[in-house]
Chains A and B, each alone.
Chain A
Amino acid sequence: MAQLQFREAIRAAMVEEMERDERIFLIGEEVAEYNGAYKVSEGMLDRFGPGRVIDTPISENGFSGLGIGAAMNGLRPIVEFMTFNFSFVAIDQIINNAAKIRYMSGGQFPIPIVFRGPNGAAGQLAATHNTSTESIYATIPGLKVVAPSNPDDAKGLLKAAIRDDNPVLFLESEVMYGMKGEVSDDEDYVIPLGKARVAREGTDVTIVAHSKSYWIALRVADRLAEEGISAEVIDPRTIRPLDIDTIVGSIRKTNRCVIIDESNPYASISSEIAFQIQDRAFDWLDAPVARVTAKDVPAPYAKNLIDYYMPQEDDAYRACKRVLYAD
């Protein structure tokens, strides 16, 4: 194990996989000479050369499509978006080409590609630079969507994503890149996609939260513990496919569930998880499923407004109390 920042864990996964498989290359804006807009790919140009760590012009549509075409012709690209907000310029490539070409070709052309970069809100960046994209992409069959919450998962899940023969969207976070944690240095440290992690065991209420929201869940669980309430925290880690079995298994034990999701609420990941819970565990629920999300508005700029926009720890705490009828 090594103490690594989130960004270093992602870099370690890419470097190890690129050492292992020559078909893998990294392409995106500022990934090479600039060493990455968020220094995720720092040093990779020197290590692998300009043939495998490739700067692009500002052309998300073009270089995403280039990656997909290269995947059709035998390579395994990692496409970095400076942020997933910019992936919308390339959304046609992701949704119509990456996700559907295997299907439309009757299985002749798999698309082994990873699109990765930061997702979600990152402060006073205003509306276009603060979008949580997971539900937009997770609705599309043919894609996988991964959103790790900590450096160790980031490494193991990214290695799995790179080895996966399907298109995988790997959602990081600007505000987590500096986060440190113990990270496995096993070269084959691969966390299977589609497996949730029970981060904290508990008996009274299940809190489901991914990416940054996971850390809110842990803080809420601590506060509840002080009151003698035992919360189970589940990090789905993979958004599509979702490990609903682990979530349902937990609810059958706790009979209550709160979802914390940084997305805008309408038709979000929390909506889907809540539907699946009522479908699979209705008879085990002692209270309606509650959720805490970003506000149902575009992300604002002003400090007080963006702080208010984000899912609130206090709201999550109160939601847990509410489903326990302890408020």
Chain B
Amino acid sequence: MASPTKSKRSTRRPTDPNPGQDVAGIVPEDFPEEPIRLDMTFNVYAAGRFGHEELGLASDDVLSMYRNMLLQRRFEERAAQMYGKQKIAGFLHLYIGQEAISTGTATALTLGKDSVITAYRDHGLGLALGMSANECMAEMFGRIGGCSRGKGGSMHFFSREKRLFGGHGIVGAHVPLAVGIAFAHKYKKDGGVCMGFYGDGAAGQGAVHEASNLAALYELPAILVVENNQYAMGTSVHRAFAETEFTKHAVGYDMPASLVNGMDVFAVTKAVQDHAAMARSGQPSILEMRTYRYRGHSMSDPQKYRTKEELDRKKDQDPIIRMKAYIMEHKLADDARLDAIDDDVKAEVKASVDFAEKSPFPDLETIYENIYEEDDYPYLA
């Protein structure tokens, strides 16, 4: 499939290192005589179209992707259980159903060099990028052994080492940060790209509009990813957007965009590979990943906004079931191997609960830590 392309603009850019003939401030003289017509093409990454071999993945890679998706699923199922036992408090937003996106992303990116930032539904991406189940579960338990020392909780997973820049709670507000992280990659010329994930609901926020424009204007190595799980809390996309095709939003920023079936991990992997290559060449873009969250918005969601039939229909597309079928069909593993993976994942998740239970609560004096750089800041008593 051809990568989406667009012609480079000729106008002078603030970050253009070689400001040339075009002088800033000159408004084009030519006023069009004909009606303006848009010729838009958005690539589509459909389910079932890509196999592991053409993505350069060995069978072991496929099995480790499967394991990773299963880890996210089992981890969150256990987290929901722990929420019921009041071991986890506050908000808990589950990613169940969306695991192909996180795993496909981590497969396609250069880990340790590229950057990822997301909203509060962050467990899946954290685990996909290689954060340990232990530090993640302990964070949700509010323990000092958590990835954010018990200061963030479920919504605020961060890992400097794995380059997960959060875990953010205000819808859409982290998308400008994604663009800034990409800005720094370009500034430092380190070859990294930043993927900024946000939900369909966030696409209505002004911050996302501003960030999209800045990414395109400065030609930053950014991929802005709309994880369209169809619902912003209880408000369906159709009740929130005049234009429900998020790829088309990219037109306003003169950016390419593609639509991805977010239930197929290989479609996601291929799309991220292509768009990361674009980003590295200085072309930011938007990816709309169509997905579905099987659970409520958060643990307190009665889900009256959708029918059981809709949910059942979507469950046929479960990314983990799809992947298991793919593995069986291509004889990449036998039942025994898959059972072993299942057991291994369950043990890892169970161990993370034990780790979290044993990790101490933060000492009270840690409340004054990690606010300012200096240790002697004069806090008011």
Contacts and interface: CB of A to CB of B under 8 A. Distances in A.
A162 B256 CA distance: 37
Interface stretch (A7-15, A93-101, A177-185, A316-324): A93-101
A62 B371 contact: no
A288 B198 CA distance: 53
A249 interface: no
A69 B181 CA distance: 5
B207 A49 contact: no
Contact of B180 (A57, A67, A106, A107): A67
Contacts of B166: 101, 104-105, 109
B183 interface: yes
A124 B194 CA distance: 44
B151 interface: yes
A56 interface: yes
B160 interface: yes
Interface in A185-211: 194
A69 B168 CA distance: 12
A184 to B, nearest CB: 24
Interface stretch (B169-177, B234-242, B292-300): B169-177
Contact of A71 (B25, B147, B180, B377): B180
Interface SS of chain B: loop
B176 A61 contact: yes
Interface stretch (A72-80, A153-161, A250-258): A72-80
A166 interface: yes
B151 A65 contact: no
A105 B152 contact: yes
Interface residues of B, number: 61
A92 interface: yes
Interface stretch (B12-20, B71-79, B92-100, B305-313): B12-20
B14 A72 contact: no
B373 interface: yes
Given A72-B177, A93-B176, A166-B373, A65 B207 contact: yes
B148 A73 contact: no
A235 interface: no
Contacts of B160: 105, 108-109
B187 A25 contact: yes
B151 to A, nearest CB: 5
A221 interface: no
A144 B194 CA distance: 29
Given A73-B181, A164-B373, A166-B372, A65 B16 contact: no
Given A66-B179, A105-B152, A74 B188 contact: yes
A104 B152 contact: yes
B106 interface: no
Given A66-B211, A103-B151, A106-B158, A97 B173 contact: yes
B48 interface: no
Nearest to B362: A106
10 contacts: A50-B17, A51-B17, A61-B207, A65-B173, A65-B174, A69-B180, A69-B181, A97-B168, A106-B370, A164-B373
Please name the 6 residue pairs, one residue from A and one from B, whose CB atoms are nearest each other, closest first: A69-B180, A65-B176, A62-B210, A106-B149, A73-B184, A107-B370
